[in-house]
A and B are shown apart, each in its own frame.
Chain A
Amino acid sequence: MTVVTPQEAPVADVPKSSGTRLVDRVFKMRELAILVVFLVMIGITQAGNSEFLSEQGIKDLLLNATILVLVATGQSLVVITRNVDLSVGSTLGISAFAAGTYLQGGGNPVVAIALAVLLGIGFGLLNGLLVSLGQVPALVVTLGTLYIIRGIDSIWVGSRQITAADLPGGFVDFGSGGISAVPYLALIALAVLVATAYYLKHFGSGRELYALGSNPEAARLAGIPVRKRILAAYTFCGALAGLAGAMYLARFGNVDSGTGNGYELTVVSAVVVGGVVFTGGSGSVYGAALGALLLTSINSVLPALGVSSVWVLAINGILLILAIAVDRIVALRVASALKKRNARHG
């Protein structure tokens, strides 16, 4: 429950005008909606099962969300620029295996993580170059690289697998350990998230990502280096997918050629539920992170409530639609309020 309130920049000393940061407030309202859905869900579950929010329960909840939060953060950046990266699942899988292979020989965990991130950066660059230089639809290109990377992964990995026994004990313990109820992995994810959000809001190049997603033609006319920014977004997304791969390895202690298969849909769901709009230009990484938290928590809530796993999939889908619908309704409300407040002569 760490991923909740975006920090305000320390500008409290300056008095704010009446309409201060209205755009931000819209985002926050939408995040709030997801947060409310999430809290209600957790509340109900806790009422039905008092074990749910035990120390172990909270730790599990956070651990489950961690990897998805990371990948969703990277994905949001790409989606904000009106693109998409479907290859994240494949990238996650291959970098997890690379890190695992390195660690098998008893390597240094830090180097292993760096290796995973570097591999992610490599694939991110590939995607970014194809999309930005080729100026071709991201959906097709990254669906293509999804297949390519997955194919390469399974040719390379074959039927090998890395199991917890192959990894240094410290690495695996790190994956499940933490400070009381807060796992180390969640702390890393949180740090990445907060840094990314701060960057997006307070740095020129971060704002330019929103600008070029909002109107690419106008971005070009405004002299924004469109290709460079898109390339950077993809690279960052790849890097986080790689980092997530290393964390996956630490957490599950188990990687094979199937790792990360089908993950793209989960990531896209998290981002969409989190209110990052697919036509670009709007949404926040906090929203995406909340979306990820919400989605993974659904999978913990239902078993904890004793719902038969036969029902899980159906309920999952319906909740997903509900979350989007609630978000949409809130957004509409906000928009109409905005319109009334800002009518020029009203």
Chain B
Amino acid sequence: GGGTTKKDVANEGGSAATAGKADPNAELKKGLTVGFLPKQVNNPYFTSADKGGEKALTELGSKYKEVGPSSATDTAGQVSYVNTLTQQQVDAMAVSAQDPGALCTALKQAMKNGIKVVTYDSDTTADCRNAFVSQASAEDLGRTEVQLLAKQIDYKGEIAILSAAQTATNQNTWIDFMKDELKKPEYKNMKLVKVAYGNDDAQQSFQQTQGLLQEYPNLKGIISPTTVGIKAAAQYLSGSKYKGKVKLTGLGTPNDMRKYVKNGTVEAFELWDPAKLGELAARTAVALASGQITGKEGETFKAGSMGEYTIGKDGVISLGKPTVFDAKNIDQFNF
């Protein structure tokens, strides 16, 4: 019968994101206010990132503020913080979206009020923000994690993935690239037996690791592309008989993982520098607010000491390749 279906909506066509003209030579404005809205305040990862943003903003002579919910699943809370920033008439906001769709209405409202919106770490749909600062290309992350683990287990044996929530957009894209990488011939002796989800909760990740090891006694390695997951898995492994026998890699922070690298539980893992991510987000926001860029593909801008960045497809700006941490270099990092 009648009614509105997905097809009808698809036919409506996307609404055009309005964009003015970019002036690459425009002066960087001072005295702006940029609001950072992480997925969760008090989360060490986001705190490092936002600190990076604060540093850059101070350098640029603008004001930094941070607001955000205290729970990473409180999407409604995040939406109301977008509204709050809009009400407070900040010049730009940098948002790490808990949900790609949920923030859209509020973010569009903000853009309508002349506020520039940059997403970082976690994106929304492309028409709800001016630019997205990506921590690393998803492809790089996915593929390098497989490569890291493969080396540690001599390209042989069963492996598993311990991810965050099933809905975590980032993780899912990376996992897709991991699967793709595993199709290459050099990995023919490796088999991905399971993707488990620990919901970024220490206890659940812990028990999921236990479950993996019980279910697959021949498991050789685990990839955990989430800082909470890898830490919990490492803690479990280091206190169990599997320590050193089952390899673990993924995304972790050097401070979290130092102990496990030193006691032999973990050989190597990787991550980008969150402070750099925050810094780039801040510089992008200021560049947007100053009119140097508008978020269109192909525009370039200078991000202070970080060098020059070009805006890619869909307004994505990529931070660069992740750093690999191992026993040799880990002590040089502190975040």
A residues contacting B by CB (< 8 A) are 49, 51-52, 54, 56-57, 60, 64, 154, 157-161, 163-165, 172-173, 175-177, 252-254, 256-259, 261, 299-300, 302-306, 309-310
Q: Does B207 lie at the interface of the complex (its beta carbon under 8 Å from any beta carbon of A)?
A: yes
Contact A300 B235 (CB under 8 A): no
A8 to B183, CA, bound (A): 62
**Are B211 and A303 neighbours in the complex by a CB distance under 8 Å?**
yes
- A sample of 7 cross-chain residue pairs with beta-carbon separation below 8 angstroms, ordered by A number, consists of A49-B215, A56-B213, A154-B42, A159-B44, A163-B258, A299-B207, A306-B194
| Inter-subunit contact A261/B71 (CB<8 Å) | yes
- Is the CB–CB distance between A303 and B215 below 8 Å? yes
Residue of A nearest to B40 (CB): A258
Q: Could you tell me which residues of chain B, from 225 to 275, have a CB within 8 Å of some CB in chain A?
A: 231-232, 235, 238-242, 255-256, 258-260, 262
Q: Which of B194, B241, B255 contacts A56 (CB 8 A)?
A: B241
Would you call A60 and B231 a contact (CB within 8 A)? no
Knowing A176-B240, A257-B42 touch, does A252 contact B211 (C-beta < 8 A)?
A: no
A51 and B235 form a contact (CB under 8 A):
no
B58 part of interface (Cβ distance < 8 Å)? no
The bracket for how many chain B residues form the interface is 35 or more
**Contact across chains for B231 and A163 when beta carbons are under 8 A apart:** yes
B259 near A163 with CB under 8 A, answer yes
Q: Is the CB of A304 within 8 A of B42?
A: no
Q: Is B105 an interface residue (CB 8 A)?
A: no
Task: Determine whether the beta carbon of A300 is less than 8 Å from that of B210.
Answer: yes
- Among A157, A177, A254, A261, chain B packs the most CB atoms within 10 A around the CB of A254
Chain B residue nearest to A160 in the complex (CB):
B44
Residue of B with least CB distance to A151: B70
Determine how close the nearest CB of chain B comes to the CB of A216; give it in whole angstroms: 36
Q: Which 7 A-B pairs have the closest CB atoms?
A: A303-B211, A176-B239, A159-B47, A165-B259, A304-B214, A309-B197, A257-B42
Q: Nearest-CB distance from A267 to chain B (Å)?
A: 13
Q: What is the CA–CA distance of A139 and B166 in the complex, to the nearest angstrom?
A: 33
Contacting A at CB under 8 A, from B19-75, are: 41-44, 46-47, 70-71
Contact B43 A159, beta carbon cutoff 8 Å: yes
- B175-211, CB < 8 A from A: 194, 196-197, 202-204, 206-208, 210-211
Which residue of chain A lies nearest to B262 when distances are taken between CB atoms in the complex?
A165
Q: Is B217 in the interface zone, CB < 8 Å from A? A: yes
Find out whether the CB atom of A52 lies under 8 angstroms from the CB atom of B214: yes
Is A51 within 8 A of B208, CB to CB?
A: no
* A54 partner residues in chain B, CB cutoff 8 A: 214
Instruction: A52 to B46: give the CA distance in the assembly, Å.
Output: 38
Q: How far is the CB of B131 from chain A (nearest CB, A)?
A: 26
On whether the beta carbons of A256 and B42 are closer than 8 Å, the reply is yes
Question: What's the Cα separation between A254 and B166 when bound, in Å?
Answer: 23
Partner of B210, one of A60, A159, A253: A60
Contacting pair A56 B240 (CB below 8 A): yes
B212 contacts chain A at the CB level, 8 A cutoff: yes
A163 with B241: CB separation less than 8 A: no
Given A300-B210, A303-B212, A310-B166 in contact, is the A252-B203 Cβ separation under 8 Å? yes
Whether the Cβ atoms of B235 and A254 lie closer than 8 Å is yes
> In the complex, what distance in Å separates the CA atom of A245 from the CA atom of B156?
41
- Known A-B contacts A159-B42, A303-B212, A304-B215; A164 and B235 likewise in contact (beta carbons under 8 Å): yes
Please report the C-alpha to C-alpha distance between residue A89 and residue B169 in the assembled complex, in whole angstroms. Answer: 29
A159–B72 alpha-carbon span in the complex (Å): 13
> What residues of A have a CB within 8 angstroms of the CB of B70 in the complex?
154, 257
Q: A254-B235, A310-B166 are in contact. Are A157 and B240 (CB under 8 A)?
A: no
Contact B202–A254 (Cβ < 8 Å): yes
Extra contacts, 15 of them, besides A252-B203, A303-B212 (Cβ < 8 A), are: A51-B213, A54-B214, A159-B43, A159-B44, A164-B238, A176-B238, A176-B240, A252-B202, A254-B232, A254-B256, A259-B202, A302-B211, A304-B211, A304-B215, A310-B197
Please, which residues of chain B bring their CB within 8 A of the CB of A257?
42, 70
- CB-CB under 8 A from B262, the residues of chain A are 165
Min CB–CB distance B228 → chain A (angstroms): 9
Q: Which of B44, B194, B213, B260 contacts A161 (CB 8 A)?
A: B44
- Shortest B261–chain A CB gap in Å is 10
Q: In the complex where A253-B235, A254-B235, A257-B42 touch, is A57 in contact with B71 (Cβ < 8 A)?
A: no
CB-nearest residue of chain A to B197: A309
Residues in B neighbouring A57, C-beta threshold 8 A:
210, 214
Q: Are A305 and B202 in contact (CB under 8 A)?
A: no
**B46→A159 contact, CB < 8 A:** yes
Q: Is the CB of B42 within 8 A of A303?
A: no
Cβ A303 vs Cβ B214 within 8 A: yes
> Cβ of B217: which chain A residues have Cβ within 8 Å of it?
51
C-alpha spacing A253/B215, complex, angstroms: 25
A161 to B257, CA, bound (A): 13
B42 interface neighbour in A158, A177, A254, A310, Cβ under 8 Å:
A158
Set B41, B239, B240, B255: member contacting A163, Cβ < 8 A: B255
Expressed in whole angstroms, the minimum distance between the Cβ of A270 and any Cβ of chain B is: 14
Question: Which chain B positions have C-beta within 8 A of A177?
Answer: 239
Inter-chain contact A303/B235, CB cutoff 8 Å: no
In the complex, which residues of chain A have a beta carbon less than 8 angstroms from the beta carbon of B242? 56
Which residues from B are CB-within-8-Å of A310? 166, 197
Q: CB-CB < 8 A to A259: which residues of B?
A: 202
Nearest Cβ on chain B to A292's Cβ, whole angstroms = 13
How distant is B122 from chain A, measured CB to nearest CB, in Å? Answer: 18
CA of A253 to CA of B238, assembled, Å: 11
> Would you call B259 and A164 a contact (CB within 8 A)?
yes
* Contact across chains for A300 and B207 when beta carbons are under 8 A apart: yes
- Looking at A164, A254, A299, A300, the one whose CB has the most chain B CB atoms below 10 A away is A164
- A51/B214 in contact, CB under 8 A: yes
Considering the complex, give the chain B residue whose CB is closest to the CB of A258. B42
Task: Kindly state the separation between the CA atoms of A323 and B78 in the bound complex, as whole angstroms.
Answer: 37
Most buried by A among B166, B235, B256: B235
Q: Which residues of B contact A303 (CB under 8 A)?
A: 196, 207-208, 210-212, 214-215
Alpha-carbon distance between A161 and B43 when the two chains are bound, in angstroms: 9
A175 touches B239 (CB 8 A): yes
Distance A165 CA – B242 CA, assembled complex (angstroms):
19
Assuming the contacts A254-B235, A299-B204, asked whether A163 and B211 have C-beta atoms less than 8 A apart, the reply is: no
